[in-house]
Amino acid sequence: MKKKLLFLTLFFGLTQLQAQIKVDKITYKNIDHFITTTIGYPVPGLFLFEGKSEPSILLNPNGTGVFQYEDLSKKNITWGIECTEEGIPIFKEGFNSASYTFWYKTDNDENWIFTQFSIHYNKKKMFIMGERVKDYEDYNDLKKPGKTRS
């Protein structure tokens, strides 16, 4: 009985740890916003202009990254996608797409900047600022029977 109780306690404790989404509170013009890096799609990665290798935006899973400007200078950034206080992403649904608010700030500045982040489901592409793009593989497609990774 004790082993069963211990197992259940560990099981529920671990599932709670796994299920929690990290949410950070930021302030922009005296208004609080909440951001997360977890929205159910693989946001972290390298975003580039179509057909170019620079300038780029690199987003790490932990909310850090590198923003490369058009003059090719680079700045370390902190980033996130706007969400509710509970970590639910806020987005506007389009036709085969969704639009989110992408927040970032450079490490040497306390001012947050926002821009558009969009996911285009049929094309399997993500865009930052409407111009830097990344191809992605939908997590949900990987779970469907008969679907293989390419």
Angle value at C-alpha 69, between 43 and 109, nearest 5 degrees: 80
Answer whether 48's CB lies under 8 Å from 56's CB.
yes
Note down the domain range covering 71: 21-138
Per-residue confidence in pLDDT tens, the chain, 150 aa: 444 433 333 333 433 344 578 999 999 999 999 999 999 999 999 999 999 999 999 999 999 999 999 999 999 999 999 999 999 999 999 999 999 999 999 998 999 999 999 999 999 999 999 999 999 987 666 554 544 444
**Is 125 domain-assigned?**
yes
Amino acid, res. 97 = S
Number of domains in the chain: 1
Angle value at C-alpha 36, between 74 and 53, nearest 5 degrees: 30
- Give the 3-state DSSP-derived string for 12-52, with helices as H, strands as E and coil as C: HHHHHHHHCCCCEEEEECCEEEEEECCCCCCCCEEEEECCC
**Is 60 domain-assigned?**
yes
Residue 56, SS3 per DSSP: strand
pLDDT value of position 20? 73
**Is 16 domain-assigned?**
no
pLDDT value of position 142? 55
**Is 6 domain-assigned?**
no
**Is 9 domain-assigned?**
no
**Is 68 domain-assigned?**
yes
Which residue, among 95, 105, 114, 91, has the nearest Cα to 41 in the 3D structure? 91
Q: Which helix (H) or strand (E) is 4 found in, with range?
A: helix 2-19
pLDDT value of position 98? 97
Q: What b/e readout covers 126-144, taking b as 16+ CB neighbours within 10 angstroms? A: bbbeeebbbebeeeeeeee
> 34 vs 7, 13, 24, 90, CA distance in Å?
35, 25, 6, 10
**Is 53 domain-assigned?**
yes
| Cα gap 50→131, rounded to integer Å | 8
| Cα gap 1→36, rounded to integer Å | 40
**Is 149 domain-assigned?**
no
